[in-house]
Copies of this chain bind each other. A is one copy, B any other.
């Protein structure tokens, strides 16, 4: 828990993290709490003079935690909702954060490139996911940013399928959705490959998704509403009569967490700003045939959006 005051900041943690906090925390005093973080924070607040107004992040604090804090601090503290102030601060990345996110995106692109030659019929989805997560750690990532998705054949039509023991089969689509955490920041990359020579129909579907992704990228820029980027992808798919198969939103903010502000979804009014990092990931899902999703990470620049992801978007037939 972090307590931010005009003149100082205090990080409350416990004795398991004593050494780690000393090595990693800068810019805040470290407080090792003996009997829980809530009690330690409440006691610190009670030492301050006067009647305090303390803002909390309502998306991070549970109802139970807030009730405990209120009880512990009593009438001396008035707790007020901080709204989405923290999320908004985090949505726009500074130069140092962008450098890290560039590295995180490069890392997962490299892992994907090195995974491609290993994707073969007869391997299970879990084996391929294991290879990917192994690669992330070997390249110095602290781990996957989320449970790696490897979904093949009919299972690729599940946008968020967990990898299973199912073996990859001939003439199947395989959706691979993977991300790495590097120095505390996430990357997120999806590619779809075909095992064998793809029928013309599948190839056309892939091109349509790629076109929609490019349309969304082209639409992104400072001052553009998040919903407009989503609409660009949808409109592009509509031209191919595929909009109904695009069953999720176009993307999301990316940073310390894999899902941050802004959401790139229908009618989202929030305006993109220079320095925001977002994913652009339209996909279509046809029961029986499978799914196709293509996802890159981009940073909003002064006049558009720039790819952080370097993996090729060419349709791979393996």
Contacts and interface: CB of A to CB of B under 8 A. Distances in A.
A259 B14 CA distance: 16
How many chain copies does the complex carry? 2
A138 interface: yes
A59 B62 contact: yes
A66 B18 CA distance: 34
A56 interface: yes
Contact of A17 (B59, B66, B158): B158
B165 A140 contact: yes
B140 A147 contact: no
Interface stretch (A129-137, A231-239, A295-303): A129-137
Interface string A107-136: 000000000000000000011011101101
Contacts of A56: 63
B58 A16 contact: no
A67 B67 CA distance: 14
Instruction: Give the contact-size bracket for chain A.
Output: 35 or more
Interface in A61-76: 61-64, 66-67
A261 interface: no
Given A58-B63, A158-B19, A138 B130 contact: yes
A253 interface: no
B19 A287 contact: yes
A134 B144 CA distance: 12
A207 to B, nearest CB: 23
A126 B147 contact: no
A247 interface: yes
A105 interface: no
A18 B157 CA distance: 10
Given A58-B62, A63-B56, A67-B58, A137 B133 contact: yes
Contacts of A33: none
Interface in A270-284: none
A312 interface: no
Given A126-B137, A130-B134, A247 B58 contact: no
13 contacts: A15-B247, A16-B247, A17-B158, A17-B159, A18-B158, A20-B160, A59-B62, A62-B63, A127-B137, A127-B138, A140-B165, A142-B163, A143-B147
Given A16-B159, A58-B63, A61-B62, 15 more contacts: A15-B159, A15-B247, A16-B160, A17-B159, A20-B160, A58-B62, A59-B64, A63-B63, A64-B81, A126-B137, A126-B140, A127-B138, A130-B133, A130-B138, A131-B134
